[in-house]
Structure 1
Amino acid sequence: MKDTLMNGMQRFAKAMFIPVLILPIAGILIAFGNLFTNPQLIETFPIMDNPVTTGFGSILSGSLVSILTNLGLIFCVGIAVGLADKKKAEAGFTSLLGFLVFIHAMNNYLSFNDLLVDSSSLQGTGQTMVLGVQVLDMGVFLGIILGVITALVHNKYADIEFDNAFQIYGGSRFVFIVLIPIVVLSAILMSFIWPVIQSAIDSTGVFINQAGNFGLFLYGTLERLLIPTGLHHLVYTPFLYTSLGGVAEIGGEVFEGARNIYFAEMADPTVRVLSESVIWDARGISKMFGLIGACLAMYHTAKPEHKAKAKAILIPAVFTSFIAGVTEPIEFSFMFIAPVLFVIHSVLSGLSMVTLNLLNVRAIGPNGFIDFLLYNIPLGVERTRWPLYILVGLLYFGLYYTLFRFLITRFNLKTIGREDKAEDTRLYSKKDYKERQSSTAPGSEQVHPQDGIAHTIVSALGGDENIKTITNCYTRLRLTLDDPGRVDESVLKDQTGASGVIVKDRNVQVVYGLQVNKVRRSVEAYLGRPSED
């Protein structure tokens, strides 16, 4: 039962990546649009005060805000695609149809029973407009529920085919036929059930908010501690995109979740001070400053004969963490060989969020320095207090460096550059990775150079017949294997550039960082399989 639950959570967390990773793109473009309407920039550069540039900025920011007001639909399609075992495009299309059926079924049921409130003022009524249809305000949870339901029905009935005159009703059409009564019945049931669930969610949000900085500390710490399981997305997603992270009315629209509110406030020049909901966003101190201090400590404590290699390994990892906010290559370098460092890292991450909150800093850097510049600089010092963010970052750089250096030397931890043999290092530079692309597993037959890395990965995973599914998230190759006991972790780490391997039941995650898409495509091409995305 425990393994089944964990497998389900792993799959769900993986499916969440599809909608979650597209939303920061909207935020970056909203920030870019704000550059053309920012009063301070216009005052500094008068050439920007013209209808062409200001109009462009207003249109760009205003149009992308529509994504934030339709997250239910986005999550519905994204999760259905992510959880579908096959025919993913058809699953996404079917989920869209199911979403439309649901909102109209709920609207009709509420209307028949005189449960609809006056649509002229829906704030605080528990109802909202979704695609122009008045329904209960389920927010992103509506999309999550319908996405899961659609995927379950799709996986069960997508392969059913009929003969003769009924053949046109097979496949995805039959899935939709089965889905209609389920969705309609769900809409009716949710008309009674959701108000109770929403009340519980609101109570949870109140409890967390009343916990104050202690609750914020737990949130930030858990978000890091769960990285080895791949479930850390389930910690922050509800706060970023549901009412747990706050509710605010901006420009006549109601937004839920810290990230949604932040983006909406960015797009509204009348908002002078950013709301407190931003405290639940990924603040990025550990990504941009903390882990750099940790890497410097690892370099300074490396053995003299290994310093050159440690430097070559750590510099690309530091650059990736600082610029793009991808921390797993660094975290996996000490997560398992020195877990005490990972616990310290998680605690400091939580403390950094508390520190920013105490100083009333509203700046964020969820995906590194590029995000930090685009999200905060255009909004100005008054709204974000971004200079204090940098000062706090420098403080935590020093804390990370001091604590990591002390613990590494005090307990003789085998971090990067302190291994008994130089070849035992677990992170590889870009040069090392390219050299491995033409290599093969020891004792194996020679293969074409471009297939070398894929051949090695497949062999280390137990061969073609052992690999059932291949997908990836932002930094990890995610696989389902028949026999995970056949995984050769040392080959994956030493010969393919993997910085970590996580095995949980039949689910295996191999951490490759930003090049994971290229790795996945090479493995699929080598096996002759179509992409599962």
Structure 2
Amino acid sequence: MAKKKKGNTWQFFQMLGKTFMFPIALLSICGMLLGIGSAFTNESMIEAIPFLGNTYVNLFFQFMVQLGLFAFNNLGALFAMAIPLGLLKEEKEFGAFTGLVSFMAMHIGTSFYLSATDQLAAADQMSEAGQTMILGIQTYNTSVLGGIVAGLMAYALYRKLATLKIPEALGFYSGPRLAPIAMLFIMGVFGLVAVPLFWQPFYAFFKMLGEWITTSGPIGYFSYAVAERVAIPFGLNHLVTSTFRFTPIGGTAIINGQEYMGTVNMFLAYVANNMDIPLDLAGKMEQGKLMIQYGLCGAALAMYHCAKPQNKKKIKGMLITGALTVVVGGISEPIEFLFLFAFPPLFVVHTILNGLANMVLPYLGVLMGYTGDLIQFVTFGVLRGTRTGWPIAVAFAAGYFVLYYFIFKWAIIRFDIKTPGREEELELDESEASEFEQLSAYKGIAMLKALGGKENIIAIDNCVTRLRLELKDVSLINEEEIKNAGGIAVVHLDEHAIQVIVGTQVYALRKQINKAMELS
């Protein structure tokens, strides 16, 4: 029973990490809008390109800045809606609405407490008092933590409230309608009592941790980057990065009279004010990721060169797609999982190289900040000028490409690692490939069969790169057939839960599996 409970807890945290991708996806686009808009309204940029000084052109880029600030200014509310939206299996839309009501009610309760105790700070003193305006409510600046708490409480209580029996005379308010109504009162009291009691010491504790990372210098930057990579195989990396990006553990700063917490919040504030980011923030902005992205391209080239001649043509497309995905999209898992399970020591080396890059780059003058993919590199690096140190980053990335290539080529040959193309038999033969091209649901049907059939599947979901499955009997799966149907590797979590690493096509594959289950 204890093992089953541990497995359920593990799955919950994995699912929680997946829900963070809803606001993070929006934030990444808003960040690009903010970066582009700020870059092209920069006075030095206008001096260099006078066309940008045109009234209508300038207004257009100012509008981009305002759109970019949307997610930045409403992160707490977005997280509060995203958590029940992602975690609930049914009535997701009602759960998301309940999350938003919970978030607002909590801050209304806190605001009432501050008003009743005469602690509401003046507008020019809110930052010093740890207060801010959230959706028009003056309250403690809990940022995304408040959204996570409200979202989790909405998720935890939704099913109980939605199924609660009430008198027939009040039947109109039963079911999904009852949940947000009840949470209005519950979270109002929570904000009135619990938030004032716990927030200040909680904030002080996390601020202390953030200060340790900041003051520990290169050791802190190295440790953070290593922790982020180590969490990749377990699907918990988004929990690690989100903690630093959106909470006081990532640090705090007062920028232009406003207090910001979390690396992304501080970074975007610096960008919006056209300011250079400090070295300590650069060390916590995962700049090393840019280096390992190009390093992984070198690893992909090494895998191609080490493949058997008759298999090179078959794996070329997969490796090129993986390389483009990691460079353009910033998603590294499709390449990482090609060697993680085949030879874990290579992943250890990869993790250490990520930490070293993240530790060294700020001291070389690289202060680009948020550069998770090629577009962000151009937006926050190139377009903001050489002051960001992007030319140094390019030279460093080229070095990592070469370093990864020779490390991986040596290791693959020395230890006979079965990376793609080195297996005795590879994927589909020509007749099977023809059938695959003709049948759009082929992969879904094949994967369903490899997973033990419809009767063996209790629950199926996906994140960015992997299928998440709860099965009746894990022993019924056929890992070789799973790989033939599009899987890269299988991760066993417990006797009922597995993950199938697929890549960025995972959503389409999951939909095909769902369709195959309906047909069967």
Q: TM exceeds 0.5?
A: yes
Q: Which residue of 2 aligns with 1:444?
A: none
Q: Which residue of 2 aligns with 1:504?
A: 493
Q: Which residue of 1 aligns with 2:295?
A: 290
1:97 partnered with 2:101: yes
Cα shift at 1:305: 4.0
Deviations along 1:446-479, one digit per CA (max 9) or x if unpaired, are xxx2332222222222322333333322222223
Deviations along 1:355-397, one digit per CA (max 9) or x if unpaired, are 2122131125644222211222221111x11101111111222
Counterpart AA for 1:371: Q
Contact 2:247–2:261 (CA<8 Å) still a contact in 1? yes
Matches within 5 A, 1:160-179: 160=164, 164-179=168-183
Q: Which residue of 1 aligns with 2:268?
A: 263
Cα shift at 1:78: 0.8
1:519 partnered with 2:509: yes
- When the two structures are superposed, what TM-score results if normalisation uses the length of structure 1? 0.89
3-state SS of paired residue (2:10) = helix
1:11 partnered with 2:15: yes
Alpha-carbon spacing, 1:273–1:366, altered in 2? closer, same or farther (3 Å): closer
Q: Distance in 1 between matches of 2:305 and 2:334?
A: 19
1:248 partnered with 2:263: no
Counterpart AA for 2:175: G
Q: Which residue of 1 aligns with 2:64?
A: 60
Cα shift at 1:340: 0.8
Matches within 5 A, 1:27-42: 27-42=31-46
Q: Which residue of 2 aligns with 1:423?
A: 426
Q: 1:87 aligns with which of 77, 87, 91?
A: 91
Q: Which residue of 2 aligns with 1:445?
A: none
Overall identity of the aligned pairs, in %: 32
Q: Distance in 2 between matches of 1:424 and 1:395?
A: 34
Contact 1:246–1:257 (CA<8 Å) still a contact in 2? yes
Contact 1:30–1:61 (CA<8 Å) still a contact in 2? yes
Q: Which residue of 1 aligns with 2:304?
A: 299
Alpha-carbon spacing, 1:481–1:341, altered in 2? closer, same or farther (3 Å): same
Q: Distance in 2 between matches of 1:74 and 1:278?
A: 26
Q: Distance in 2 between matches of 1:275 and 1:133?
A: 34
Deviations along 1:314-361, one digit per CA (max 9) or x if unpaired, are 222222222222221111111111111111111111111112122131
1:394 partnered with 2:393: no
Contact 2:128–2:259 (CA<8 Å) still a contact in 1? no
3-state SS of paired residue (1:513) = coil
Counterpart AA for 2:325: T
1:450 partnered with 2:453: no
Q: Which residue of 2 aligns with 1:120?
A: 124
Deviations along 1:108-165, one digit per CA (max 9) or x if unpaired, are 1222223333343122322222222222221211000110000011133334465743
Contact 1:69–1:255 (CA<8 Å) still a contact in 2? no
Counterpart AA for 2:40: F
Q: 1:413 aligns with which of 397, 411, 417?
A: 417
- Name stretches of at least 5 consecutive residues in structure 1 with no aligned partner: 440-448
Cα shift at 1:309: 3.4
Cα shift at 1:245: 1.9
- Name stretches of at least 5 consecutive residues in structure 2 with no aligned partner: none
Q: Distance in 2 between matches of 1:62 and 1:511?
A: 38
| 357-366 or 392-401, larger mean C-alpha shift | 357-366
1:479 partnered with 2:479: no
Alpha-carbon spacing, 1:399–1:157, altered in 2? closer, same or farther (3 Å): same
Q: Distance in 2 between matches of 1:80 and 1:230?
A: 19
1:403 partnered with 2:407: yes
Q: Which residue of 2 aligns with 1:74?
A: 78
Q: CA RMSD in A?
A: 2.6
Contact 2:107–2:188 (CA<8 Å) still a contact in 1? no
Q: Distance in 2 between matches of 1:484 and 1:197?
A: 41
Q: Distance in 2 between matches of 1:312 and 1:185?
A: 57
Q: Distance in 1 between matches of 2:381 and 2:431?
A: 36
Cα shift at 1:276: 3.6
Counterpart AA for 1:104: I
3-state SS of paired residue (1:514) = coil
Q: Distance in 1 between matches of 2:442 and 2:409?
A: 38
Alpha-carbon spacing, 1:310–1:455, altered in 2? closer, same or farther (3 Å): closer
Alpha-carbon spacing, 1:360–1:433, altered in 2? closer, same or farther (3 Å): farther
3-state SS of paired residue (1:501) = strand
1:233 partnered with 2:238: yes
Q: Distance in 2 between matches of 1:39 and 1:105?
A: 43
3-state SS of paired residue (1:124) = coil
- When the two structures are superposed, what TM-score results if normalisation uses the length of structure 2? 0.91
Alpha-carbon spacing, 1:82–1:265, altered in 2? closer, same or farther (3 Å): same
Cα shift at 1:68: 1.2
Q: Distance in 1 between matches of 2:61 and 2:199?
A: 38
Counterpart AA for 2:250: G
Q: Distance in 1 between matches of 2:15 and 2:334?
A: 22
Q: Give the aligned length.
A: 512
| 350-359 or 299-308, larger mean C-alpha shift | 299-308
Q: 2:199 aligns with which of 176, 189, 194?
A: 194
